[in-house]
Structure 1
Amino acid sequence: MQENATTSKFSIYIENIHKGIHGSDSGSYDAQGRFVPAKFNEIFTKHGKVEPNAVNERELEAMRTANRMDGDDIGRAASKAEWDLLYSLAKDKDGFLQKDAARTVFDDSLFVLLAKNGSSRN
Structure 2
Amino acid sequence: MQENATTSRFDIYIANIHKGIHGSDSGSYDAQGRFVPAKFNDIFAKYAKVKPNALNEDELGEMRTANRKEGDFKGWAASKAEWGMLYSLAKDKDGFLQKDTARSVYDGSLFAKLAKKAASSGN
Q: What TM-score do the two structures reach when normalised by structure 1?
A: 0.91
Aligned partner of 2:21 in structure 1 is 21
Letter in 2 for 1:118: A
Per-residue CA distance 1:40-84 (angstroms, 9 max, x = gap): 011111000000000000000000000000000000000000000
Aligned partner of 2:11 in structure 1 is 11
1:73-112 matches, cutoff 5 A: 73-112=73-112
Aligned partner of 1:51 in structure 2 is 51
CA RMSD of aligned residues (A): 1.7
Q: Distance in 2 between matches of 1:108 and 1:17?
A: 10
Structure 2 residue runs of 5 or longer lacking an equivalent are none
Per-residue CA distance 1:69-113 (angstroms, 9 max, x = gap): 000000000000000000000000000000000011111111111
Letter in 2 for 1:79: S
> Secondary structure, in 3 states, of the residue corresponding to 2:38?
helix
> Secondary structure, in 3 states, of the residue corresponding to 2:97?
strand
Q: What TM-score do the two structures reach when normalised by structure 2?
A: 0.90
Q: Distance in 1 between matches of 2:99 and 2:8?
A: 27
Name the count of aligned residue pairs: 119
Letter in 2 for 1:73: F
Letter in 2 for 1:117: K
Structure 1 residue runs of 5 or longer lacking an equivalent are none
